[in-house]
Amino acid sequence: MAKIIGIGNALVDILVHLDDENLLNELRLVKGGMTLIDDNALTHIRNMFARMHAQRATGGSASNTIHALSALGDATGFVGSVGDDDLGHFYASCMAERGIVANLSVQAGLSTGVASTFITPDGERTFATFLGAAAHVEAEGLRQLLDRQPEAEILHVEGYLVQDHDLILDILRTAKAAGLRVSYDLASWNIVRDDHDFIYDLVRDYVDIVFANEEEATAFSGKTDPNISLQHLGELTDIAVVKVGKRGAQAQQNFSDHSIYAFAPGLVRKAVDTTAAGDFFAAGFLHGLIHGESLRTCLHFGNCTAAEVIQVMGTQVSAERLRASLNSND
């Protein structure tokens, strides 16, 4: 039965490699960020992709984390919304193959959400996201899944949902009323920057575990030093985690001023694509947490799972490879 449930945008990633950043500039996309686009922009991008080698995979931040947790052998569930189309069927079948207990509402007349993912030579990924049916995820779907999965312990929420204030408040209140610990990923530095005060209140009032990378932590705290950012986040929630790229990650627990650091030397042999690195980190960390591992081990697991997805195109890492990664030397 599901121990960790995710809720977020049910998206299909369409990924392409770029030779340079010219196309990002042409489309006015913020490198490393996520930009919401409309139908016209999606059609324009699809026409471009038709002339390029593109790959598809399940996407969406919380969805990626849940897929990785399932691959690690954990009992998982997911709440999202898709269209009644080829991409929606693809998304649902991938969930079923991984054994994820999914509550996917199907939106007639709407297209499944698409995250057009541009990967530059440095491995950085930039998203142009058409939400489509994904925007219709509802807290009611979470309540329905909790009725079927009362053993759930943690709800993992992606920060992109913050763009609908009423929705995310309903989700978080539902989770707390059910006695769940809330895990929250800040998602993107520009999301944090543009809605800082609201996100600050969410973290303070509802979140038990918060994940941020350096840029997101800076946007949240206003400080460029990740140690200060970590302390700032740690004052608001039980477990705060700041990822510092190839250097590893650090965490603070129980509102203390003492942080734990886990280095990640040599885990990535060749960086191919950073898509979902943060999502897979969250999966490794949460896997350790629900199995009673120390905070340092949780960080190490996060580093290992993130390293594996960085070395492949997209988000498809075999369960065997992902599980084996946890035995990497700390």
* Mean pLDDT, the chain, whole residue set: 90
List helix spans (H) across 195-327: 196-206, 214-221, 226-234, 277-290, 295-310, 319-325
- Residue range 49-87, pLDDT digits in tens: 888 888 888 989 999 999 999 999 999 999 999 999 999
Q: Sorting pLDDT into bands at 50, 70 and 90, what band is 321?
A: confident
- Residue range 210-260, pLDDT digits in tens: 999 999 999 999 999 988 999 999 999 999 999 988 888 999 987 666 667
Q: How far is CA 17 from the centre of its chain?
A: 21
The pLDDT of residue 145 is 95
- Residue range 33-54, pLDDT digits in tens: 888 899 899 999 988 888 888 8
Residues 243 and 212: beta-carbon distance below 8 Å: yes
Strand segments, DSSP code E, in the chain are 4-7, 11-17, 34-36, 55-59, 76-83, 101-107, 113-119, 125-130, 154-158, 181-185, 209-213, 239-243, 249-253, 259-262
The pLDDT of residue 294 is 92
Residue 262 pLDDT more than 60?
yes
- Spell out the domains of the chain, with CATH numbers in brackets: 4-8+60-110+133-325 (3.40.1190.20)
- Write the CB contacts of 276 (distance below 8 Å, at least 6 apart in sequence): 59, 61, 64, 68, 309, 314, 315
The pLDDT of residue 313 is 66
